[in-house]
Structure 1
Amino acid sequence: MSRIRPLDPAHHGALRFDPGIVASTPRFVQIGLSEIVLAAADMPLCLAKDAHTGRFNLIALLGLVEPQNLFCVDGRFHATYCPRALQLTGFRLHPDGVAGLAIDEEDPALGASGQLLFENGRATPLTATIADALRRLIADLDAARDLIADYAARHLIRPLRLTLRRSDQHEHVIDGLYTIDQDALSGLSDADVVILHRADRLAPATLLSASLTQIERLCQLDAARHQQDRFHATF
């Protein structure tokens, strides 16, 4: 359970931040527009609806059946790219905190290892860097929502029914995910294709679809983690 508190030297003077330490439980993490090309090299990228707004969020899938981050080994993230939201889960923007920050005191990245947030009772430059990174991340997440909203308006999104099956025919279905409808994308008019291309919104759709091949990597990681037969995925 998280414990959010405005950042201040009285309570957090000895606290350090280690961005290499990540939570082991999230099965997915939200990513921003600029992260698509980076994250697609490691993990499948999908869409999921926000439970409160009904809008689509762009997510990177980190696990399969269990609430487990399969890229997390011994508390650290092992992949070419680590999504920024996963690195910054311990921080929030808060007007009452030093550098405009609050922290989740239960986050594993905040503790005795890493870089100091305070030195001699004063905030280190790291705190301002983190606050700036959070603001840029929020803007990037909003840009991703705008992109996906454009796809939705053009009817380019379809449900993604991910079925996992072991050799013993044990089956598990993951619902609630969405992806790009390639047939709808191919059926766009020439005018719409040009509009999307000039807005740099055509390539991301292709990358999102191509990234689904990384589901195979998750199946391999899952089998190695649990030492059992590998899932075979269809979607």
Structure 2
Amino acid sequence: MSRIVMLDPMRHHALHSDAMAGAAARQFVQIGLSEIALAAADMPLCLVKDAQTGRFTLIALLGLIEPRNLFWHDGEMRATYLPRAASLTGFRLDAAGAGGLAVDEADPAMGARGEALFAADRSPAPILADIRAGLERIVADIAAAQALIDDYARLRVIRPLSITLQLSDGREHVVAGLYGLDEEALAALDDATVVALHRADQLAPAAVMAASLAQVERLRQLHNATHARQIAAYQIAFTD
């Protein structure tokens, strides 16, 4: 559970950030508009629904069963791309906090290892300015992705997505709570809508997102390389 508080030099003067520890613990991570093609080279791109607002959010799926990043192995990221938010999971923007930041004290990135957030005199370390700038870029990019996904939602091309894993011990595991872009629904759009999507640079991202579901096979291979309980097969299906 998150424990987000304003970054405070008195409370957090000994706190360090290990960005990769945060990335390793993520089963999925939110991505921005500019990251769609980059992340799709390795990861399935899906949507999750906010229970309070009903809006869909674009994510890169990093794991299947265990709540961890399958691309993280032996202290290294085994992917061609690491989504930017994955390395900043422990921080939030907060104008009242030191360096304009808040921290999630429960995030795996936060602790006694990694880069110090404050100098010996408790002044903000230079890394805080870099973190804030990185977060500001991520927030703007995610907002652009949100606008795109909102348009897809208005077109009713988003469907509940079920990924059912058949395990080697005979059991099944369903990766629940996911949504995706249904290619049949996209193909059924009228010509005028398709042209409008193309001119707004919204057609290509839809195609990339739909095609990225093939990367579930990559996740299966990574899981089987490090787990005794193998994923023997899987099924991806859209439901009503």
Q: Identify whether the pair has TM-score above 0.5, normalized to the shorter chain.
A: yes
Contact 1:21 1:77 (C-alpha < 8 Å) held by counterparts: no
Q: Does 1:61 find its partner at 2:61?
A: yes
Match of 1:126 in 2: 127
Q: Does 1:175 find its partner at 2:176?
A: yes
1:40/1:95 Cα in 2 relative to 1: closer, same or farther (>3 Å)? Answer: same
Q: Does 1:162 find its partner at 2:163?
A: yes
1:74/1:191 Cα in 2 relative to 1: closer, same or farther (>3 Å)? Answer: same
* Greater mean alpha carbon deviation, residues 207-216 or residues 162-171: 162-171
TM-score, structure 1 as length reference: 0.88
TM-score, structure 2 as length reference: 0.87
Match of 1:91 in 2: 91
Secondary structure at 2:60 match in 1: strand
Paired amino acid for 1:195: A
Identity of aligned residues (%): 57
1:86/1:102 Cα in 2 relative to 1: closer, same or farther (>3 Å)? Answer: same
Match of 1:149 in 2: 150
Q: What is the rounded CA distance, in whole Å, between the counterparts of 1:173 and 1:116 in structure 2?
A: 40
Q: What is the rounded CA distance, in whole Å, between the counterparts of 1:188 and 1:215 in structure 2?
A: 26
Match of 1:71 in 2: 71
Paired amino acid for 2:95: P
Secondary structure at 1:22 match in 2: helix
Match of 1:34 in 2: 34
Match of 2:10 in 1: 10
Match of 1:231 in 2: 232
Q: What is the rounded CA distance, in whole Å, between the counterparts of 2:14 and 2:160 in structure 1?
A: 47
Q: What is the rounded CA distance, in whole Å, between the counterparts of 1:152 and 1:75 in structure 2?
A: 38
CA displacement, residues 83-129 of structure 1 (integer Å, 9 cap, x when unaligned): 22221111112232112111123333234444333334322332122
Deviation at 1:8, TM superposition (A): 2.9
CA displacement, residues 8-46 of structure 1 (integer Å, 9 cap, x when unaligned): 333333433332322544322221211111111111111
* Greater mean alpha carbon deviation, residues 121-130 or residues 216-225: 121-130
CA displacement, residues 111-153 of structure 1 (integer Å, 9 cap, x when unaligned): 4444333334322332122112212222222221211111111
Q: What is the rounded CA distance, in whole Å, between the counterparts of 1:42 and 1:117 in structure 2?
A: 32
Secondary structure at 2:22 match in 1: coil
1:67/1:111 Cα in 2 relative to 1: closer, same or farther (>3 Å)? Answer: closer
* Greater mean alpha carbon deviation, residues 210-219 or residues 65-74: 65-74
Match of 1:200 in 2: 201
Paired amino acid for 2:82: C
1:77/1:111 Cα in 2 relative to 1: closer, same or farther (>3 Å)? Answer: farther
Unaligned runs of 5+ in 2: none
Contact 1:29 1:59 (C-alpha < 8 Å) held by counterparts: yes
Deviation at 1:76, TM superposition (A): 5.3
Deviation at 1:232, TM superposition (A): 1.3
Paired amino acid for 1:171: E
Unaligned runs of 5+ in 1: none
Deviation at 1:56, TM superposition (A): 0.6
Report how many residues are paired: 235
* Greater mean alpha carbon deviation, residues 88-97 or residues 2-11: 2-11
CA displacement, residues 134-177 of structure 1 (integer Å, 9 cap, x when unaligned): 12222222221211111111122222121211356432223321
